[in-house]
Amino acid sequence: MRLITELSAWRCFADEQRGLGRRVGLVATMGALHAGHASLIQAAKDHGDVVLATLFVNPRQFHDGADLAAYPRNLPGDLATARASGVDCLVTPTLAEMWPSYPAPTPTTVSVHGLDEVLEGAGRPGHFDGVASVVAKILAVTGPCRAYFGEKDFQQLAIVRQMIHDLAFDVDLVGCPIVRDVDGLALSSRNVLLGADARRRALALNRSLRAVESRRASASEHRATLARILGEADLDVAYAEVVDPVTFAPCADGDDGEARAMVAARVDGVRLIDNAPVTLVGREG
């Protein structure tokens, strides 16, 4: 596995691979790698890509300094996981390389309006501007590639997809299924911050989604089920919503067809998100 820290070497590596007729598969991460990240790497390898993974904790997507400071970091473990997963090149750029003016604001910001104003965007002001800006830079340095993102961050996936479309990046975006632990909790780098009791209560996120995923109901009935199960676990719920999977507009009771259930909550101060597809039927359906 090749290790790179400089943007110039990163760009050269990707150009060299394309020059040899190989497709670059990009997996962008903030480290604290787990089996969910490994699944993205494996998806790239299954497509026959040369896997380029990035590891950068992006401060611009944290509006809370304490949250940034608490974000898990484990570079030795990440190196071992990346090697074992078959990463061909791991890029660990410095903050000075990525955002030279930090902590002063970077003059250029990428925003995806509309999608960035609801759910995670409503509760974390500026979060998706930071996400879109760093992903845009990662894609610009990498160049033409196939990029792999997980569906656990379903809203992030939609924002990146819209940005790629609007800015005409030469990138094929691949959304990959959520990976869960044996107890059903969606894998997340933040899970290591959960104590035993917090983790037990956090399972209500997945439990609420399984309850709505398994039945056809109206939007309000699905919302009520989500709220009831999350409330029984005494979670600090940020949202429990049923939305259009493309526009993220809240679904109404007259809507039929496929939608997405989106949940987020703090469990002993640790923010967790999850989602699942649901089927809607109007009240008269």
The residue annotated as part of the active site, out of 34, 37, 127, 222, is: 37
40 Cα distance to chain centroid: 12
Query: For every residue of 171-206, which 3-state class applies, written as one string?
Result: EEEEEECCCECCCCCECCHHHHHCCHHHHHHHHHHH
The answer to whether the CB of 238 falls within 8 A of the CB of 266 is: yes
Residue 34 designated active-site: no
Domain ranges in the chain? 2-176, 189-276
> Does domain 189-276 match CATH 3.40.50.10150?
no
Architecture label for domain 2-176:
3-Layer(aba) Sandwich (3.40)
Side-chain-side CA neighbours of 106 within 13 Å: the count stands at 20
Q: Encode the chain (285 residues) as per-residue pLDDT tens digits.
A: 999 999 999 999 999 999 999 999 999 999 999 999 999 999 999 999 999 999 999 999 998 888 999 999 999 999 999 999 999 999 999 999 999 999 999 999 999 999 999 999 999 999 999 999 999 999 999 999 999 999 999 999 999 999 999 999 999 999 999 999 999 999 999 999 999 999 999 999 999 999 999 999 999 999 999 999 999 999 999 999 999 999 999 999 999 999 999 999 999 999 999 999 999 998 644
* Prediction pTM value: 0.96
Q: Which two tokens stand for residue 261?
A: 């259930």
Distances (CA, A) of 180 to 30, 68, 219, 234: 19, 24, 25, 22
